[in-house]
Amino acid sequence: MNAQYVIGVDLGTTNCGVAAARIPAGDETAQVELVPVAQLINPGEVSEEPLLPSFLFAPGTNDFPAGSTTLPWDSAPRFVTGTLARKRGSETAGRLIASAKSWLSYAGVDRTSALLPAGAAEGVARISPVEASRRYLEHLRDAWNHARPGVPFEQQRILVTVPASFDAVARDLTERAAADAGLHNVVLLEEPQAAFYAWLARHEDWRHRVSVGDTILVIDVGGGTTDFTLIAVTAENGELRLERVAVGDHILLGGDNMDLALARFVEEQLAAKTRLDTMQLFALWQQCRAAKEALLAGTKADHPITLLGKGSGLIAGTIKTKLARASVNQILLDGFFPEIPSTEVPQRQRRAALAEIGLPYATDAGITRHLAQFLRRQGDGLAMPTHVLFNGGVFQAALLRERLLAVLNAWAAEAGRPPVRPLDGEDLMHAVSRGAAYYGLARQGRGVRIRGGIAQTYYVGVESSMPAVPGLAAPMKALTVASFGMEEGTSSQVPGREFGLRVGEPAEFRFFSSASRKHDEPGFLLDEVGSELTELSPVEVELAGDAGGFVPVVLESAVTETGVLQLWCVARDGRRWKLEFNVRERVS
């Protein structure tokens, strides 16, 4: 069956979202629409909601009445997913799986092992971050298929978003999770790019809002992470073009940190009367999230907080207090968006020699300090943007957008630059899924694409076939595999003869790059590695095959939408081996 829709999936740390557009025929105009997701919101109550919270709950024998977790497509799900999972997890934290995407990005653990729920008690089922991601995608798939039985989700063109700073392993594992959910040929797209695509989709007059020489900062602060991206406005053949020029690191810092900071504040206020245990603190954390959202969105001076007591006298021991708007404003502004000079960078804290195994959370909560560091590492001085595009649920609060903009404008004044202008007009909670769907249309020539051509030419080392000489290694040649300016999301065959690929034993692939040789086409072979080439970190692998064997292969290269150069070695019998490394300019 031919695809009828392009579907954008925001596989978020805190929430998942879906948007879709029917692929138009002829000159019809395509419209991107949000797709509600059916899920349990209470035991026995299924509702279509605009987002699927990224939470799984592993129910015990007595957690829910029999049959009350039934879904229209699954009579006995192993895990509860979404809104009800988040609700019940605030009461029984040891059975709640959260932040799976952050675990997926953490290279310090085996991301395929059963790690979650982190800190679960003995006997609680554990799963890997990959499986958790798969289950979110399966739920989105099944909800779509239940609502649209004649248009299978898995047969549509699907774009799944990932943080710009995901490493190659995290991207591969995301693709594996999608494949395990029955979704094949999925395209990955970076979240900040998707957010900007959403803005483009809403503003057909974008060429009148930005000009050549402008630089747009996309700042995405979600529930668990912060990401920065810079996009430059350039010109080619008299037309405006958009080119991504810098990507920041994946910073584990976001709305969850803010909610916890508020919870700790309330805990200190209660310290004279009672001491909270771990479960009460977790429940307080979740209540502070709701209080923060209500206070930032409304006009009330405070919001009630209610915690159940401990032991047999739960009701009698109920704790009641309030969280004041003034406290929320002070904690969030001073703690997370401090007004600092652009020279101030994140502070490193002295750490204990031993620590629990867990996520590498940012030690400095000052998002503006991380932003200053990002802009300082673009070259000489401060790389001031001309515009800023906010994304992520945190920036639904006008208070926080205004503070961030005030900080940027203070830096601009220091540098003698004009004020930074915000790009308004997007739904912050759904921009990523909307933008991903729009990008799916743009791939078919029905929208504007952000350029991301690679900034150098890349080569792979080829060992010369010559007789051995005592004390000397065989000469190394350099084969061009990707040319300067090769667009992300494109691929090409490397023309020329076959090469022998060593399989079945450890071998080293040597890669080189050149910023000056901009006209070498794929397949061009340099007889020697000269000073114009810079050697990159080698890739040491053992490819599957008979020990000590050589397999004749041809080469294919591709640059993905997430800035990874893939080099495929293709044998005559159809076997394929893949090597990859990041070719995008990165900033920390």
Domain boundaries, the chain: 5-189, 209-252+360-446, 255-336, 457-582
Find out if CATH 3.30.420.40 is the number for domain 209-252+360-446.
yes
pLDDT, tens digit, 9 for 90 and up, residues 115-136: 898 777 777 889 999 999 999 9
CATH architecture of the domain with residue range 5-189: 2-Layer Sandwich (3.30)
Find out if CATH 2.40.50 is the number for domain 457-582.
no
Is there a cis peptide before residue 117, judged by omega within 30 degrees of 0? yes
What local confidence, expressed as pLDDT, does residue 120 receive?
A: 75
Q: How many CB atoms lie within 10 A of CB 473?
A: 9
pLDDT, tens digit, 9 for 90 and up, residues 214-266: 999 999 998 888 989 898 888 877 767 778 788 888 788 998 899 999 999 99
What local confidence, expressed as pLDDT, does residue 588 receive?
A: 33
* CA 109 to each of CA 100, 124, 128, 129, 296: distance values in angstroms, whole numbers, following the listed order: 13, 20, 11, 10, 36
User: Of 134-138, 203-207, 492-496, 553-557, which one has max mean pLDDT?
Assistant: 134-138
Q: Which candidate, 218, 255, 249, places its Cα nearest to that of 373?
A: 249
> Is-same-fold flag (5-189; 255-336)?
no
pLDDT, tens digit, 9 for 90 and up, residues 360-390: 778 899 999 999 999 998 877 899 999 999 9
Rg for the chain (alpha carbons), in Å? 26
For residue 587, pLDDT over 50 is answered with: no
User: CA 63 from chain center: how many Å?
Assistant: 33
For range 433-448, the mean pLDDT: 87
What local confidence, expressed as pLDDT, does residue 7 receive?
A: 97
Partner residues linked to 507 by β-bridges: 541
Mean pLDDT of the chain: 87
Q: Which two tokens stand for residue 462?
A: 């080829």
β-strands 5-11, 157-162 pairing: parallel
Confidence category of residue 60, pLDDT binned at 50, 70, 90 = confident
Q: Which candidate, 24, 452, 27, 389, places its Cα nearest to that of 203?
A: 389
Partner residues linked to 42 by β-bridges: 45
- As assigned by CATH, the class of the 255-336 domain is alpha beta
Q: Is the dihedral of CA 360, 365, 367, 373 positive or negative?
A: negative
For residue 314, pLDDT over 80 is answered with: no
Alpha-helical segments (H) within 32-128: 83-89, 100-104
- Tell me what percent of the residues of the chain surpass a pLDDT of 70: 92
Q: Are residues 356 and 392 in contact, defined by beta-carbon separation less than 8 angstroms?
A: no
What local confidence, expressed as pLDDT, does residue 358 receive?
A: 64
For residue 451, pLDDT over 70 is answered with: no
